[in-house]
Amino acid sequence: MEDAENITKKGIPVVAEKEGGEIEQQAEIELNEIIFRLEVTNEIEKLMKDGSDNAAIECGKMLVKEIFENTQDRTGLIESLEEPKEKQEEVVKEHRVFQEGGKMEEDIKQRLIKEWPALGNIVFNIVPDSTFTSDKTGVGSIEYFAPDEEDEMSYPNGYKHKNPHKGEASIVYDPASNDYEDIKMDLLHALRVQDPKYRALVEELDSVVLNGEDDLKYNAR
């Protein structure tokens, strides 16, 4: 090729033949470089000009779909980022079950105790409640009720909610907006209240990290 000296040798050249047979390089594809379709590129530019938060969110959604569903990956990178299909189906199924409020309390409790055996030493209840929403409380849609507190929780907007198991620790949650991990994290409150060994470990951490300063301890909790 007569025009070879004008063609890059670093990547994959994109060339076009001009009138008279002259070869001209139009672009260059680097190793591991992603090339979007023209309509996607035009839409990205349109959203960039918009510049709003909503435009950024829409751009992110579009890029995720384009990369994972419409890209021919010759490097194996996309495959390495994807979870096994079985795991994806398990996560989707669990999320749907929580949204429908179909996960039984005892099933959740047994799974929690299996993962965190210390939970087997305390008393706690898991209570799905589709009426316990952020709109109603004015704050969150999951709450820990301590066994030694009053049986009713009051919120800044005036809403009140009773502990469905008076005198026992309870996690009340809206299944449409919370999942298994949210419940598990909230149960750390119950462990601190009921398990002396766990409470001692937390207080030791407080003293080491926060150097015994009460204000910092309060804020950290």
Please check whether residue 33 lies inside any domain of the structure.
no
Confidence band of 72 (pLDDT split at 50, 70, 90): confident
What is the pTM (predicted TM-score) of this model? Answer: 0.51
H helix count then E strand count, the chain: 9, 7
Domain finish residue from 47, 81, 115: 81
Q: Domain check: are 44 and 151 in the same one?
A: no
- 155 CA to centre of own chain: 26
Helix axes 105-115, 180-194, angle to 10 degrees: 70
Average pLDDT over residues 118-131: 89
Residues 102 and 76 in one domain: no
Domain membership of residue 47 as a residue range = 38-81
Q: Are both 100 and 181 inside the same structural domain? A: yes
Helix orientation angle between 180-194 and 196-209, rounded to the nearest 10 degrees: 90
Per-residue model confidence as pLDDT tens digits over 8-19: 666 667 777 777
Contact partners, residue 104, CB within 8 Å, separation at least 6: none
Q: Where are the alpha helices (DSSP H) in the chain?
A: 38-50, 53-69, 77-81, 85-99, 105-115, 134-137, 180-194, 196-209, 214-220
